[in-house]
């Protein structure tokens, strides 16, 4: 039984809930539990979209520095793979994902949020990667995902300075996609996720894979990835349902099975 991270499923939406008071500091146990929750959300066919949520007060204020400060070079060399895997585990879920951010999302906390497909923040949110102020760099995917999301110049500014970015600036630079009142963050995330609970699950997974895998390569290779995934969907039941419904009833009326 997980101690700090749970997966709660309701109406086709899985919520990965981070709960290690007071600030959801991401110790190694919590990192492993995020990975386990992400795998459970992947395996559960009733889950069609996923929210990552730290609660009403804070998303996650970073790694557990007290724990990390005691680690040697050798220990961190052995641990860095599992650290990246845990903090980036949400990216491996082949379903639409959204981070619901209240309060602080710093360091490893922001890295968890960056691994989601979308980010919705409260207007009180503070986001940042302050690792250089500790004499290190973001190590859970932050240097890579942040630069891909907002561009290298803006990412370097955030990483070099370690400064906190408020919600409005985060929206302006593309770090978050929507800003709402803090007590509406989770509801806004559910509203976005609910769009996909009756969608064509395999098509959504293919769309996510095409974008994510294509970004890691050149355009020609990306187009080949897209072509392969597109053709493969013609083996699915939902493709038959969707196209038949369109021809017979017009757009937007298909009732997909997820197969």
The residues carrying an active-site annotation are: 111, 131
Cβ(129)–Cβ(103) below 8 Å: no
- Of 119, 87, 101, 98, which Cα lies nearest the Cα of 48? 98
Count of CB atoms situated within 10 Å of the CB of 172:
12
| The token pair that represents 190 in the structure block | 């559910």
Rounded distance between C-alpha atoms, residue 237 and residue 57, angstroms: 43
Q: Ramachandran region of residue 252, left (φ > 0), alpha (ψ -120 to 50) or beta? A: left
**Which of helix, strand or coil describes residue 214?**
helix
| The token pair that represents 206 in the structure block | 């293919």
Cβ(42)–Cβ(95) below 8 Å: yes
- Of 25, 139, 137, 32, which Cα lies nearest the Cα of 82? 32
Rounded distance between C-alpha atoms, residue 217 and residue 227, angstroms: 15
Rounded distance between C-alpha atoms, residue 199 and residue 89, angstroms: 23
Rounded distance between C-alpha atoms, residue 143 and residue 19, angstroms: 26
How many residues would you count in the chain?
259
Rounded distance between C-alpha atoms, residue 50 and residue 192, angstroms: 10
């Amino acid at each position: 039984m997980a101690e700090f991270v749970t997966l709660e499923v309701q109406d086709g939406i899985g919520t990965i809930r981070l709960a290690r008071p007071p600030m959801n500091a991401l110790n190694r146990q919590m990192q492993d539990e995020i990975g386990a929750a992400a795998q459970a959300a992947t395996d559960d066919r009733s889950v069609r979209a996923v929210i990552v949520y730290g609660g009403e007060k804070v998303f996650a204020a970073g790694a557990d520095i007290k724990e990390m400060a005691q680690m040697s070079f050798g220990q961190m060399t052995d641990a860095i793979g599992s650290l990246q895997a845990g903090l980036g585990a949400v990216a491996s879920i082949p379903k639409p994902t959204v981070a619901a951010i209240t309060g602080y999302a710093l360091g490893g906390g922001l890295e968890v949020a960056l691994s989601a497909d979308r980010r919705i923040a409260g207007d009180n949110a503070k986001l940042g990667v302050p690792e250089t102020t500790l004499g290190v760099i973001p190590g859970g995917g932050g240097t890579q995902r942040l630069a891909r999301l907002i561009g290298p110049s803006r990412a370097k500014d955030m990483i070099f300075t370690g400064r906190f970015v408020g919600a409005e600036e985060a929206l302006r630079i593309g770090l978050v996609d929507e800003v709402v009142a803090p007590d509406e963050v989770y509801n806004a995330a559910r509203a976005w996720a609910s769009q996909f609970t009756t969608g064509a699950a395999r098509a959504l997974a293919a769309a996510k894979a095409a974008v994510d895998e294509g970004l890691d390569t050149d355009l020609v290779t990306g187009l080949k990835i897209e072509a392969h995934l597109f053709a493969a969907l013609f083996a699915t039941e939902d493709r038959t349902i969707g196209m038949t419904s369109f021809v017979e009833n017009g757009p937007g009326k298909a009732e997909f099975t997820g197969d």
